[in-house]
Structure 1
């Protein structure tokens, strides 16, 4: 099996392939009745969601097999997909992690952990004090993954049009000079 490399998204990367990866990775969540945005978002929505931050991609040879996005806090007047952002997402010093995806054929090999490590490392290098994310409350496996990584549940939100309530989670980052 070819090794997997992780690098920042490049302008030459194909947005259609990135969107197709998100659809494939989130399909099993849709089967459980959870309509995550990444499960069926358009290419334009993918572009919009990555425009404000730093996106990493995982490649196996030339094949796109994973991704994660991370960005700084939202402005209070900025929308998060179609909703006002929760207060956690507007706090100074907060990086927001989203669109974590691994192709179903590569699950169980630690790639999601590698992507999260890279995203958290980027946030730490940018001087962010914490990383925040949200996921479906009923998605117990995802919640457990984040709890194992040191995230704590710190609130909830009901995104417009979603079939599930979401939990907000955050993880403090150690400043580089203290690391």
Structure 2
């Protein structure tokens, strides 16, 4: 059995791009255009974004981004390939981005996720995230769930 490792990656890497496109397609199938808040691949390459990939061997199985804001960091683009779910990959990705946030002296993490993404809600709650109101440029929407966590 090979080990899952998480490391900084490039959203333009072919495997990472494939994961992001699969994530975007899923979000577009589930939510209206105005309720989709995913970042484009170009936006994920911005200097204030740390992009992580989870790999098993040479195969990318999941990804997540950490967008560094002035007084918090936002989780973006959390996605694990459906065939790789149940291996703890999302938990490893969460640990990596929280460690990265701490390395940047970020005290608060925030996220927006879809109201029907119950597995995502469970993941975030398992990592100590609690519901909160909209933040940044987000507006209140029945299709969105906003969560926050203060890092120790």
Q: TM-score range by the shorter chain?
A: 0.7 to 0.9
Unpaired segments ≥5 residues, structure 1:
74-91, 175-179
Max Rg structure: 1
1:127-172 Cα deviation digits (max 9, x unpaired): 001111110123222222212211111114458xx9x621211100
Distance apart, 1:14 and its partner CA: 4.1
Give the count of matched residue pairs.
145
The alpha-carbon distance between structure 1 residues 60 and 115, as it changes in their structure 2 partners (threshold 3 A), is same
Q: Residue 41 of structure 2 aligns with which residue?
A: 46
Contact 1:67 1:115 survives alignment (8 Å): yes
What is the CA RMSD across the aligned residues, in angstroms? Answer: 2.5
| Equivalent in 10, 31, 36 of residue 34 of structure 1 | 31
Q: Residue 16 of structure 2 aligns with which residue?
A: 18
Unpaired segments ≥5 residues, structure 2:
none
Distance 2:23 2:44 in 1: 17
Distance 1:2 1:120 in 2: 24
| Residue 142 (structure 1) aligned with residue 120 (structure 2) | yes
Distance 1:151 1:23 in 2: 26
Moved beyond 4 Å, runs of 4+: 25-31, 35-38
Length-normalised TM-score, structure 2: 0.80
